[in-house]
Amino acid sequence: MTTNGDSEPVIRRTPVFCGIVPPHILDQLARHEDGALADSALRTLQHDSAARTRRRVTAVRTLTAVAAPAAPDSAPRRTVYDAGHGTDLPGTKVREEGSEPGQDASVNRAYAGLGATFDLYLKAYERDSIDGAGLALDASVHYDRDYDNAFWNGEQMVFGDGDGEIFTDFTSSVDVIGHELTHGVTQYTANLEYYGQSGALNESVSDVFGSLIKQYSLGQSADQADWLIGEGLLAPGVRGVALRSMKAPGTAYDDPRLGKDPQPATMAGYLRTNRDNGGVHINSGIPNHAFYLLAAALGGNAWERAGQIWYDVLTGGDLRADAAFTDFAKLTVAAARSRFEEGEESEAVVKAWAQVGVQTA
């Protein structure tokens, strides 16, 4: 922590390239015998790898250490751009805050998804945008050609159109938009290192709030939600329902072209690997499942109690950037006790983590 000229505390944050489609899926597709399909996946992989390298050497951000509660009448500042199937960002401005929907469905979905994300953070957690200080929300659609991903680049959202055979337009799932924007929230708060267990927590937190954003926008309770990440992204003919399932990790897809969903639901299946930054997209299934178990046990609206506990940990200042699963789990127990005292919430948190094999004591 450092100080600015007014002696206010600031924290430096390193933005990280985070894409919704895991590298192991793109690796599988890049080896496919269909040349066009393999080419789309390979170009996406190469782009994402280069982007990750650029993010590591990009100058860090600064921000105030503690975000003040947002005013109830705070409003988003959204701008959507059209990249025109190129890679120069942001592209041509096509819609801004308050303007009417146009005929481009991708633009309209991106605009709505930015708004849904802003609404959840404002109304459930009194957070004013991604940084807690009213950050403008920018997004670019129609990025590159047949680009099989969507990502937060540390400054804005970017959406590919998909290849049409495996993936559809990446603006089609509001939980994907919420997932990626939550990487921005993490960037401005706990700044979890994108490797190993802390990286898996980074991914899991984005899945958690991506799902909550979808549930909030649809008015769904925990038992009504599908707990899927990327439902609607897989094209017709693909054997699967989504990219990930928080309710049943490892069951989201089983397709000859994609392979089988490798996510474990418990520590018994924890994968030790050097690929995908230490398996961040795979091992995130474990904390994902813990959150689902907690939300299911508490019932009602998952953003109100289970989500509040996770949000308190993410923004409370005690979560280390290199936190392991056990560190995060212990903080969730403490957060539940702090906010809800010795009620059913803390007991449910302990039980949820125990069910996935993570210790809290």
Q: Residue 91: name the closest of 99, 100, 82 by CA.
A: 82
| Residue with tokens 């706990």, as numbered in its chain | 190
What tokens appear for 355 in the block?
A: 């069910």
Q: How far apart are CA 120 and CA 51, in angstroms?
A: 29
Query: Smallest Cα–Cα separation from 207: which of 237, 245, 236, 240?
Result: 245
Q: Does domain 196-355 sit in CATH 3.40.50.300?
A: no
- Distance (Å, rounded) from C-alpha 183 to C-alpha 203? 8
Residue with tokens 């937190």: 205
Pairing of strands 78-82, 92-96: antiparallel
**What is the C-alpha separation between 144 and 87, in angstroms, rounded?**
5
Contact of 169 with 110, CB cutoff 8 Å: no
Q: Would you say residue 116 has pLDDT above 60?
A: yes
Amino acid 6: pLDDT: 40
User: What digits encode the pLDDT tens for the residues 146-197?
Assistant: 999 999 998 999 999 999 999 999 999 999 999 999 999 999 999 999 999 9
pTM to 2 decimals? 0.91
Question: End-to-end alpha-carbon separation of the chain, Å?
Answer: 29
Q: Where in the chain is the domain with CATH 1.10.390.10?
A: 196-355
Q: Are 209 and 185 in contact (CB under 8 A)?
A: yes
Calculate mean pLDDT across residues 5-19. 50
- Strand residue runs (E) in the chain: 2-3, 9-13, 18-19, 61-64, 78-82, 92-96, 137-141, 150-152, 157-159, 228-229, 244-245, 254-255, 259-260
- Asked if residue 84 lies in contact with residue 91, where contact means CB atoms within 8 angstroms, the answer is yes
- Alpha carbon 69 to its chain centroid, in Å, reads 22
- Cα 224–Cα 229–Cα 233 angle in degrees, nearest 5: 115
Q: What is the arithmetic mean of pLDDT over 39-62?
A: 60
Q: Is the pLDDT of residue 32 over 80?
A: no
Q: What is the pLDDT of residue 44?
A: 85
Confidence of residue 52 (pLDDT cuts 50, 70, 90): low
Q: How far is CA 12 from CA 57, 63, 185, 198, in A?
A: 14, 7, 14, 18
Residue 281 CA: distances (Å) to CA of 115, 157, 326: 26, 19, 18
Sheet holding 9-13, edge to edge: 2-3, 9-13, 61-64
Bridge-partner residues for 157, per DSSP? 139, 152
CATH 3.10.170.10 in the chain, residue ranges:
11-188
The phi-psi region of residue 203 (left if phi > 0; otherwise alpha if psi is between -120 and 50; otherwise beta) is alpha
The residue assigned the tokens 């959507």 is 80
Which residue from 158, 167, 285, 183 is spatially nearest to 231, judged by alpha carbons? 167
Neighbour tally for 217: CB within 10 Å: 18
- Pure H helices in 126-173: none
With bands split at pLDDT 50, 70 and 90, how would you rate the model's confidence at 94?
Answer: very high
Give yes or no for residue 205 having a pLDDT over 80: yes
Q: What is the pLDDT of residues 100-114, one digit of tens each?
A: 999 999 999 999 999
In order, the DSSP letters of 8-33 are -EEEEE----EESS-HHHHHHHHT-S
Give me the active site residues, please: 180, 281
Residue 66: pLDDT band by 50, 70, 90 thresholds?
Answer: low
**What's domain 11-188's architecture?**
Roll (3.10)
